[in-house]
Chain A
């Protein structure tokens, strides 16, 4: 009798828990994300300690790494300035006479600490700033002076940002000095791809995120060309692989570009 009851309660518990799992599976992601964002917010302190410890353990040559990172930051800054200068020259050439806004003029850079990088196939980060800090979905995220992600989900004090290397990420970009807009899609590893380009791009060429009204007023560097290979279906066209312009995994802090912040 007791054995039957145990078996029955086991079945009951299993069924109820499986149903709970199915509810989670079939619920909209914006609802279930709240659990993850709440976890990241509640345990941000131990998560950041663990993250710092892990990053410190991975860094074998601190001086060299720091130097390399500073060099990367300056290089990204130079690339951004060169692209802005090129854009300004184009504007002068057009002689439109209308007043154009300067890059990041009136924008607020909200610095946020990386709380957590969820495991799995997606390339995302959870940061410790949310809607109360002026963040909104669609805003661009900077790491070491380069665009690394876009805010994809938000709660009051935390936000989830989707890296441009995530397979769901699609960002309008330009390659080098070309003004033709292309769509760059994440690969799921530490790279993204631009398909069907007419011309081969040189390795190391800077790739810029296009300006987007309300979110980004000037093109900013997002990555660099890592390799070009012929498209398998159309061998006359090229697929180029883009790598981030900074070491995303080593970032402790990022900055979110909040255009036209509330004063």
Chain B
């Protein structure tokens, strides 16, 4: 893993998510896409660290710190171990993985946010569904430039 490139990639994705995409109601979650990318293409220890790091980045641009580090970390790690059993090689499988991971992360984040006694929006599940769907549609296509930047060979599996 090239950690300097990893940090740069996460930083760019976080800035894009917080600025360029922040004002659209339905948008892809770049950090979710990167979470699945690293869970699929990195070895387990790198993927676990990157999952929590991406969660930290997601928390930095969200109202409260904590819920997303835990949910990204837990679901990212689960995806790493799932990937050992079910190979997520083809684009449709990657899209399904992004969709399901997005939904589960959203639900877990929502629960943890409620645990912190933070307010919840009325249409949270509607936004969650569309964000996950949008991310699933766009995500597999973003894997290629991400793999090029990270110098990861996507055909090694």
B63 touches A124 (CB 8 A): yes
Question: Does A120 lie within 8 Å of B63, measured CB to CB?
Answer: yes
Q: How many residues on B have C-beta within 8 angstroms of the other chain's C-beta atoms?
A: 41
Provide the bound-state CA to CA distance between A48 and B122, in Å: 29
Q: List 8 A-B contacts (CB under 8 A).
A: A10-B44, A13-B48, A21-B52, A25-B115, A32-B66, A119-B63, A122-B119, A167-B119
Q: Which residues of B contact A17 (CB under 8 A)?
A: 48-49, 52, 69, 73
On whether the beta carbons of B23 and A54 are closer than 8 Å, the reply is yes
CB distance from A4 to the nearest CB of B (A): 13
Contact code string B1-24 (vs A, CB < 8 Å = 1, else 0)? 000000000000001111111111
- With a CB–CB cut-off of 8 A, which chain B residues contact A120? 62-64, 113
Q: Which residues of B contact A122 (CB under 8 A)?
A: 63-64, 118-119
For chain A, the bracket of interface size reads 35 or more
Residues of B within 8 A of A (CB): 15-24, 44-45, 48-49, 52, 55, 59-67, 69-70, 73-74, 77, 112-113, 115-116, 118-124
Q: How far is the CA of A39 from the CA of B22 in the complex (A)?
A: 16
Could you tell me which A residues sit within 8 Å of B by CB distance? 6, 9-10, 13-14, 17-18, 20-22, 24-27, 29, 32-33, 35-36, 39, 43, 46-51, 53-55, 58, 116-122, 124, 166-168, 187-189, 249
Q: Are A50 and B19 in contact (CB under 8 A)?
A: yes
